[in-house]
Structure 1
Amino acid sequence: MRKHFIYAALTFFMMGALPIMAQSGMTDSQVIQYVQEGTKQGKSQQQLMMELSAKGVTRQQAERLKKMYESGQIGAGTEELRNTNSDSRLRKEYLRKDTKAGKNGYNMGGSMNGYGIMPADSAMYAGDTYILVDEYGKPIKKENPEDQVFGRNIFTNENLTFEPDVNVATPQDYRLGPGDEIIIDIWGASENSIRQEISPDGTITIPGLGMISLNGMNIADAKEYLKSELSRIYANEGNQIQVTLGNTRSIRVNVMGEVMVPGTYTMSAFASVFHALYNAGGITELGSLRDIRVARNGKTVANVDVYEYILQGKTDTNISLQEGDVIIVPTYEAIVKVEGKVKRPMKYEMKGDETISTLLKYAGFFASNAYKNSVRVVRQEGRQLSVATVERDNFGSFKVMDGDVVSADSISNRYSNRLEIVGAVYRPGVYEFSDRINTVKKLLTQADGLLGDAFTNRAVLYRQRENLTSEVLPVDVKGIMEGSAADVELRNNDLLYIPSIHDIKDEGDVYISGEIKNPGTYPYADNMTLEDFVITAGGLKETASLVRVDVARRVKDNKGTEASETVSQNFTFGLKDGFIVDGEPGFVLEPYDQVFVRKSPSYSVQKIVTVKGEVLFEGEYSLNRKNERLSNLIERAGGITAFGYTKGAKLTRVANEDEKKRMADVLDIMRRELGEGLTDSLKLELDSVFTVGIDLEAALAKPGSSADIVLREGDVISVPEMTSTVKINGAVMMPNTVTYLDGKNVGYYLNQAGGYSQNAKKSKKFIIYMNGHVEKVKARSKKVEPGCEIVVPNKVKKNTFGNIMGYTTSIASLAMMVASIANLVK
């Protein structure tokens, strides 16, 4: 309710008798807070309007606040306005997320962007950024700092209000006027205190003296005058009289010309020219900062140059205002842009008699890398442009004009005295070209001489000609240093390259792989033997063969004229303890040799298998032989217990890389046939463990037969207890699990599940046995065993993956499921 009352009050103020052009001494935040507090106290709209009108709130200010309210910038709470000066808030781009209204963008309050007060702008969301747009939805472009006019934003800076300090001693030259409060304190033989406000006709009334005129007097004169008058009724002897200024009056000044909001403003009597310009919203694009005039009683009393305040700190022209003063901001005389290598490149307002020197002073003078002997001036001459090059001696006499663009270029990146030496010297780098360093030998001496690997027979001198083309000169460094060859004179920008023997020689690398601790490529070194290389690579692994180390060497014949059939030379060695080559010790390697350390054929790590379930000693076992069979492992585990069911024993195996590849191929086929969506929704993945169908009873009865399979690492043999049930699943009337009866066939168990369903594919039914075997039922007399599962597929045109999953719920791995699919689609 309070929120709606504020809106109604603002609307009422606009309709009431508010002054049109007078300016309030209250900020927007103070107005809103005043209305809120008055609402809490139960004041009526009429009463609030009269009080705010007396305080100078204008109809224009109320209308602006109403628009801000309508755009969502003023809500039930006004923290945004309380925390910022409202006048300054109008000058910044202020974004506030409108979460309560459910908007996707941001609203920006009326902002001062250098062109005037904008209506409530907004921001469009684009990617991860917010783009400010105007009321028509067009992006607001941020102005380049170099295109801004120096000093123009001083009156739009929320941190620089120029607001007068009323808590300081009253200046002695302050002139009294109607509205000022005079405090007269008398003590001593008599004690009295008189507080009087100067009336509109400029007088105060003192009992016993009557009306005394103080209008226009300064504080110092008023004190002496009042003491003189009061001495008539208070004896001077034994009495002290002190005259001070209490509350000061408000004054009205007019701000005209090129300001954002021209008009009449009510301010403190201590207010200055700068504070009035701040209240008026600052200077427009056309306004002058260099010739702001203050008119009083029809005469100009001050000419304000803002640049003198910014650059020199001069405040004498920022005079205190008086009642009725008129501040006039004319249009600028000249705007000149300075760009390039100056410390503060931007636009500057210049007066008619100012020169390049003055402009450079405003711009902070040249940057460190600027060419300081001349500047370039581009000027509009009638219908075209002209260019003037102003030399340094003429900076103080060349006057700038409106629209001039002054450019300061950077210095050239060329050197006047530069030498450089690179390569195999102790201190390569750039050196000064002078009488002290002007030959090859002197330059080498300055670089602390040659490194040990320097190739001295021929060095290269790169020289730049006058036309900026380059040439190469050979240098006999060895002869120069020994004195057998003449020293070479150097020129500016010469570069001397001393090659290293490693730079011009292809030394290559050596390579080692196989059963070595740190295989890889290593840099070649002279006299590196095979033993040295093995030690460098970390030594042999436990798996390495000491009787077979191969070395492959490139075939090189730099003088050959015919193609060779030989691709490489190969050497084979054995190693003894201490990495000694067996048979030919000290075999020296050559660049690009490749060493292969073979794995010992007699080396083998333990291979672990697991037996669990109904055996006498279940647990992990290490295989004795590569071809150890199922029956051997059961025998080592103590045999089957009396409770074990050998026909139900199964083996799970970890898939090797070839098996994983085959299963991945099957999975790809299923995805193509069934579609990615179905297979992804079922989260079908490859299983690294699959079931192998075994016949443990046959393996134990006839060891070494085909049923007695060979084991491999990771195998797990499970021997279950006797299971006396049979499961019936798939396209039957009622899937069921029933007791196993010896001699009963498939038909009997199908009847226990209510028989076939309507969509049963009778000819495709199959049995899944406990040991992992899957067999198709070709006749009703097919043998049923304890623990098995009878599955009847649905009678559909094409088996879908969902149906397959429905009647293969007992299959534990992808490998078995693939086997089931193979049976179904035959």
Structure 2
Amino acid sequence: MPALAQTAATPPTAPATPGGSTLAPPPLPPTLPGGLPLPQLPAATQQEILQRILDAAGGRTPPPAGPLPAPAAPAAAAPTQRYAPQLPPPAWQANAEPLSHTEAFFAERLGMPLRQFGYDSFREGPAATPVIGALPDDYLVGRDDELVLALRGRTRATLTLRVLRDGTILAPDFPPIPAAGRTLRELRADLEARVARDMPGTELFLSIGQVRQMAIFVGGEVMRPGMQPLNALATVLDALQLAGGVRKTGSLRAIRIEGPGGRRVLDLYTVIAGAPGDPDIRLREGDRILVPALGGVVAVAGEVTRPGIYELPAGATSASVTTMLGLAGDPLRPAGNRLLVQGTDGAGRRSFTELGAGGVVRRGDSVLVQPGADVVANQLRLAGHVSAPVTRAAARGGTLRALLADPRLLKPDPYPRLGVVLRLDPRTRVRQFVPFDLARVMQGGANTGLQEGDEVIVLGNADIAFLASPPVQRALRGEAPPEDACPALSQLAIAARSAPARFAFARGAGFPDIGTPTCPQVFLDYPPLLAFLLDTAVLVAGEVKQPGLFPILNDTGLDLVLAAAGGVTDGADLSAVELAREPNDQSGAIPLTRTLLDLRSRNFRAVRLSPRDVVRVPRGFTDRETGPVTLVGEVLRPGVYDIRRGERLSELLARSGGLTSQAYAFGAVFTRESVRTRQQQGFERTARDLESSLLSVAAGQANAGGFGQQRVDLGGLVTAGRELANTLRQAQAAGRMVVEANPVVLAARPELDVLLEPGDLIVIPKRPNEVTVVGAVLNAGSLQFVSGWRASDYVRAAGGTQRFADTSRAFVVLPNGQSAPAGMSGWQSGGPPVPPGSLVVVPQDPSPFETRGLIRDLTAILSQVTISSAALAVIARELQ
């Protein structure tokens, strides 16, 4: 078989020119008729396919198959393709795709946009996918298929043969063998038989080397109708994809395929929607694909897996609703669905019908799948002060004890005296709170049966503490909470205003109005729960560690309530515990009864309480005051001292060991918080009086303008007065009281011995050796004390007064806090001698023409501020 081997080893070559170069055929257009691009195939194959198409279009007989000439060199730049593959649009652009006419029709009816099903399958552009893998044995061999024959055994050779246009293959030493129209299995069997007969000892292996190309016409409702170049393995989907996909005006369920093998109808829903059927989507050479207009459609919306607009089967005007729901992926809920069909009656009006599972829908109908009854069944829920909300199945005979069997479900620090079951009344359909004792349930005592749909709410101690918080107390007084507050407070304020007596017992607690805690989550989730807890609460006040409002069940022992309140304090007087109660005898009157209980035996359990009771535990009488006093400075044992009721300053000084040798009792500073508050209020009142005086002066100057008197700059006066008023408002009052701190004097005159109060501050300074001069003097400052000097002497030592000094209103602030006139007017002798540590103040006359009332006000203001400043200076110096 030398000739056979030579044929296999020598590939066909193109004719050569006398110079030795390859002769290239004239170049052909790079696109098919209609502007379609050639697929990514070998250049020789592209040229042959294009030549055949052109010959067929011109009525010429195609030339016999033979060796293919080498293609011309490609152009530097490919011409612009008319239908170039497009990238998929971005998500936002795809969502903004305009509605088709059919989609707009159903959108107007349903009030929601729906898309026609299946058409987005062709959204991606055509992709050139190479043919890989083994071909099936039922593959039909056709013209231009490339066959690879491998001979093994006595004869070893590999042949690459192409099916000629007459459908045969030519192999050396064999006559023409028919190949076109035969399956790969049939052709392999024929060749194996020939080789076994003519070439004994040789085995043949047959495969397809290169699949042939064919041109398929795609017409009708497609984006780009025309001839589409495909390989022999292409399907109808490939052809439609290459044609740009089916328009939304075209049918996906009645695609016609006509060709040499006859006519068949393809339903693409069997491919893309899983509809029943075995589609034949293979293409044969010479087939034509025609996409007809869209048939009848039905819209399916609501609670289905895949809402959309679905086409009825080919030629059908109706279908079962079950079939259409199956196309939509079936309802999301396996049962309990309500099928509302919107259609058109005989008069063209919209009509609504409810269908069952066996109903039928017609073209143009829309099916809305809705829940028949969207309710929760067979469920129990545990919420509130738990580690995580728990949902359980409502088993027959379910109880609270079974639901709360695992204590790890609860967060630390739950409120033991009350839990709540939120239950739906089957008769009134109103949700109600049912209380239970959490501690007794957890300890295996009382148990409560649960019903389907119950919500068990566990409360925490922090939730209960919120009942006595300032926001709740303000809501109980009927004050509207801020708009961003929790809704439970708004509901409580409305209830308190509409029925003031309802929460009267809770308003009498006297809790301090300090801070604004955050609303607990349980009251955000269940707003009516706050008022319910207050209705079931008892008020515990007085000498308990945690006073507050504690919700309880009826007939709860006082011992359990006191345990929730932290117990009684050590100073409690258990001989006179007050219990206030409002017994309701259903006669219309609710009298308030008060009972004094002697509980020194601590038999608290014998006292049974009911909601709305008030328990007050008084404090036993004691001489100890509620707070200490502070003694600093020149005493032997300074520090913080607790005091008894009625204790006086002399006793405190004696407890501290007495004064040191450097103590200056006349300059003692004694401050008290209640006095400081009154002084601060006095500063504010004086500032208002000053502003009123300024207005009076301004009015007086305006009225006196015509009597020849010199006018005062009213603008400057008002500005200065306002600045002084602002300074006065910002001044810090010391709260100083003038007291006698000399133990000798106190012993001789006990009426001067002041009673002490909690929070008092006593400062005993060292004996000073200076006198300070301030105000309208030429050289203000501190001067050395000279025995016998008067205020005028110290003013002269400070350089004398300024031009506009008002010496008639000069005053001296004595070391004990008192103030006295300096006696510097012309008819006075200079005043008494000034003691060490004093402060001489010479005020300035702001205007010699002002009324005397304003000047008097300014002098009083300056005196008050000076006294407070001097006291604060002494305190700061001694506390260093």
Per the normalisation by structure 1, the TM-score is 0.50
CA displacement, residues 600-653 of structure 1 (integer Å, 9 cap, x when unaligned): 333645632333455433332222444432x54344333454566667764566
The question of 1:636 aligning with 2:616 is answered no
Mapped contact 1:223–1:243 kept (Cα < 8 A): yes
| AA of the residue aligned to 1:638 | G
1:544 correspondence with 2:589? no
C-alpha contact 2:624 2:642 (8 A) present in aligned 1? no
Structure 2 Cα separation of the partners of residues 705 and 535 of structure 1: 49
Deviation at 1:792, TM superposition (A): 8.7
* Matched position secondary structure for 1:633: helix
> 1:381 pairs with 338, 346, 365, which one?
346
Alignment partner of 1:271 out of 234, 253, 257: 234
More strand by share: 1
Q: Alpha carbons of 1:316 and 1:60: their partners in 2 closer, same or farther (altered >3 Å)?
A: same
Aligned length: 590
Q: Distance in 2 between matches of 1:237 and 1:231?
A: 5
Contact 1:724 1:739 in 2 (8 A): no
- 2:298 is the alignment partner of 1:333: no
1:333 deviates by 1.5
* 1:272 counterpart letter in structure 2: T
Residues 18/766 of structure 1: CA separation in 2 closer, same or farther (3 Å cut): farther
Match of 1:702 among 736, 745, 762: 745
* Amino acid across the alignment from 1:368: A
SS at match of 2:576: strand
Matched, 1:292 2:255: yes
Aligned-pair distance for 1:349? 1.2
- Selected match of 1:61 from 76, 79, 84: 84
Is 1:178–1:199's contact at 8 Å kept on the other side of the alignment?
yes
* Identical positions, percent: 24
d(CA) in 2 for partners of 1:339, 1:110: 18
Shift of 1:207: 9.1
Letter aligned with residue 404 of structure 1: D
| In structure 2, distance between residues paired with 1:368 and 1:221 | 54
Match of 2:363 in 1: 402
Aligned twin of 1:308? 270
- Report the CA distance between 1:291 and its aligned residue: 0.8
Q: What is the match of residue 336 of structure 2?
A: 369
Map 1:459-608 onto structure 2 (within 5 A).
513-515=541-543, 540-550=568-578, 552=580, 568=592, 570-572=594-596, 574-578=598-602, 596-602=616-622, 604=624, 607-608=627-628
SS at match of 1:245: strand
In 2, distance between residues paired with 1:23 and 1:756? 108
1:724/1:548 Cα in 2 relative to 1: closer, same or farther (>3 Å)? same
Letter in structure 2 aligned against 1:270: L
In the alignment, the residues of structure 2 paired with residue 222 and residue 144 of structure 1 have an alpha-carbon distance, to the nearest angstrom, of 61
Give the SS at the match of 1:348.
strand
| CA gap 1:214/1:162 in 2 versus in 1, 3 angstroms | same
The residue type paired with residue 91 of structure 2 is E
Distance 1:766 1:596, change over 3 A: same
The alpha-carbon deviation at position 319 of structure 1 amounts to 2.1
Distance 1:198 1:643 in 2: 131
Q: Map 1:614-633 to 2 at 5 A.
A: 614-629=634-649, 631-633=650-652
Q: 2:310 aligns with which of 339, 348, 362?
A: 348
- Matched residue of 1:289: which SS? coil
Distance 1:645 1:157, change over 3 A: farther
Q: Which stretch of the first structure deviates more once superposed, 545-554 or 190-199? A: 190-199
Residues 18 and 59, structure 1, Cα contact 8 Å, conserved in 2: no
Q: Check whether the contact 1:702–1:708 (CA below 8 A) recurs between aligned residues.
A: no
Shift of 1:193: 4.5
Structure 1 equivalent of residue 483 of structure 2: none
**Deviation for aligned residue 1:404:** 3.2
Q: Secondary structure at the match of 2:784?
A: coil
Label 1:786 to 1:114 Cα distance change in 2 as closer, same or farther (>3 A): same
Q: Deviations over 1:99-155 (max 9, x none)?
A: xxxxxxxxx589756659xxxxxxxxxxxxxxxxxxxxxxx9999888444444444
- Work out whether residues 184 and 195 of structure 1, in 8 Å CA contact, stay in contact via their aligned partners in 2: yes
CA–CA distance in 2 between the matches of 1:302 and 1:731?
Answer: 120
Instruction: State TM-score, norm by structure 2.
Output: 0.48
Distance, in Å, in 1 between the alignment partners of 2:285 and 2:777 is 107
Tell me if the contact between 1:23 and 1:265 (Cα under 8 Å) persists in the aligned partners: no
Show the counterpart of 1:456. none
- Contact (CA 8 Å) 1:380, 1:403: kept in 2 or not? no
Task: State the AA in 1 paired with 2:758.
Answer: E
The CA deviation at 1:170 is 1.6
Q: Secondary structure at the match of 1:284?
A: coil
CA gap of 1:323–1:515, structure 2 versus 1, over 3 A, is same
Farther off after superposition, 607-616 or 378-387: 378-387
Query: Aligned partners of 1:408 and 1:283: how far apart in 2?
Result: 29
Answer whether contact 1:723 1:787 (CA < 8 A) is retained. no
Alpha carbons of structure 1 residues 752 and 305: separation in structure 2 relative to 1, 3 Å: farther
- Report what 1:742 is aligned to: 785
- The reply on whether 1:712 has 2:675 as its aligned counterpart is no
Post-superposition shift, 1:290?
Answer: 0.7
Question: Is the 8 Å Cα contact of residues 302 and 319 (structure 1) preserved in structure 2?
Answer: no
Q: 1:636 to 1:385 in 2, by over 3 A?
A: closer
Letter of the structure 1 residue corresponding to residue 267 of structure 2: D
Paired amino acid for 2:652: L
Q: Which one of 304, 310, 322 corresponds to residue 360 of structure 1? A: 322
Q: Is the 8 A contact 1:543 1:603 kept in 2?
A: no
Deviations 1:508-537 (A, max 9, x none): 9976654456775776868x9999998998
The one-letter code matched in structure 2 to 1:360 is T
Which amino acid in structure 2 is aligned with residue 244 of structure 1?
Answer: S
The answer (yes or no) to whether the contact 1:693–1:773 under 8 Å persists in 2 is no
Which residue identity lines up with residue 741 of structure 1 in the other structure? Q
- Letter aligned with residue 36 of structure 2: A
Within 2, Cα distance between the matches of 1:287 and 1:535? 80
Residue 59 of structure 1 deviates from its aligned partner by 4.4
- Answer whether contact 1:183 1:246 (CA < 8 A) is retained: yes
Provide Cα deviations, 1:362-410, integer angstroms capped at 9, x if missing partner: 31388633589xx9673353654577898998x6xx7x54323467898
Q: Distance in 2 between matches of 1:266 and 1:211?
A: 29
- Asked if the contact 2:318/2:362 (under 8 Å) is kept, the reply is no
CA-to-aligned-CA distance 1:34-79 (integer Å, 9 cap, x gap): xxxxxxxxxxxxxx9958849xx834438x6xxxxxxxxxxxxxxx
Contact 2:672 2:737 in 1 (8 A): no
Query: Does the 8 Å CA contact 2:301/2:369 hold for their aligned counterparts?
Result: yes
Deviation of the 1:335 alpha carbon:
1.0
Find the aligned partners of 2:739 and 2:675 in 1 and give their Cα distance: 23
Q: Which structure 2 residues correspond to residues 775-790 of structure 1 after superposition, within 5 A? A: none
SS of the residue 2:84 aligns to: helix
Give the letter for the 2:757 counterpart: R
Say whether the 8 Å CA contact 2:151–2:204 is kept in structure 1: yes
* Counterpart amino acid of residue 304 in structure 1: L
Distance in 2 separating the partners of 1:210 and 1:667? 132
**What is residue 208 of structure 2 aligned with on the other side?**
245
CA shift at 1:599, angstroms? 3.0
Q: Tell me the alpha carbon deviations over residues 562-615 of structure 1, each in whole angstroms, 9 at most, x when there is no partner.
A: xx9x9655555555444599xxxx999999775544333336456323334554
Describe the shift of the 1:212–1:762 C-alpha distance in structure 2 as closer, same or farther (beyond 3 A): farther
CA contact (8 A) 1:530 1:588 kept: yes
Unmatched tracts of structure 1, length 5 or more: 1-15, 27-47, 65-85, 95-107, 117-139, 414-426, 430-460, 464-506, 799-807, 818-826
Q: Which residue of 2 aligns with 1:98?
A: none
Q: Flag the 1:694–1:282 CA change in 2: closer, same or farther, 3 A.
A: farther
Provide closer, same or farther for how the CA distance between residues 270 and 516 of structure 1 changes in structure 2, counting only shifts above 3 A.
Answer: same
